[in-house]
Amino acid sequence: MLRCQSCEMPMTEPAHHGTETDGSQSQDYCVHCWKDGKFAYDTTLEDAIEFNIRFVLEAGAAKTEEEARAMLQESMSKLKRWAK
């Protein structure tokens, strides 16, 4: 399964994919993160992690905010947008 290389959202259907400048689907980024061949918003990794904590908690993948934050830091720092 493809996951967004910015926020880790699963991209399981065409509507989940962002768009390139030519209108084609991005294979790297989701519809929320990538529009018309560029990032839809400016953010830092830290802010993206904080934003996504609620989704990890809602999915039941972590029990506390601290646990979710640590999980996201580990996984998101390896994504294409954030890897250094």
pLDDT digits (tens, 9 = 90+) for 8-32: 999 999 999 999 999 999 999 999 9
pLDDT tens, residue by residue, 36-53: 999 999 999 999 999 999
- Give this prediction's pTM: 0.89
pLDDT of residue 17: 98
Name the CA dihedral angle for 64, 65, 67, 69, rounded to a multiple of 10 degrees. 170
**C-alpha to C-alpha distances, 57 to 38, 61, 64, 68, 73, nearest whole angstrom:** 29, 6, 7, 7, 14
Other CB atoms within 10 Å distance of the CB of residue 73: 13
Nearest by Cα to 79 from 36, 39, 19, 24: 39
SS3 78: coil
